[in-house]
Amino acid sequence: MLSRSVLLYESNVYFKFVTPNQVKRLQVFQNKLLRRILNAPWFVRNNQIHRETDTLEIKHFISQSFHKQQLSSSFAENALVRELIDILGA
Tell me how far apart the alpha carbons of residues 65 and 17 are, in angstroms, rounded to a whole number: 14
pLDDT tens by residue, 1-27 = 556 666 666 666 666 777 889 889 989
pLDDT tens by residue, 31-58 = 999 999 999 999 999 999 999 999 989 8
Tell me how far apart the alpha carbons of residues 6 and 54 are, in angstroms, rounded to a whole number: 18
Q: Helix crossing, 58-73 with 20-38: angle to 10°?
A: 110
From the CB of residue 20, how many other CB atoms can be counted at a distance below 10 Å? 8
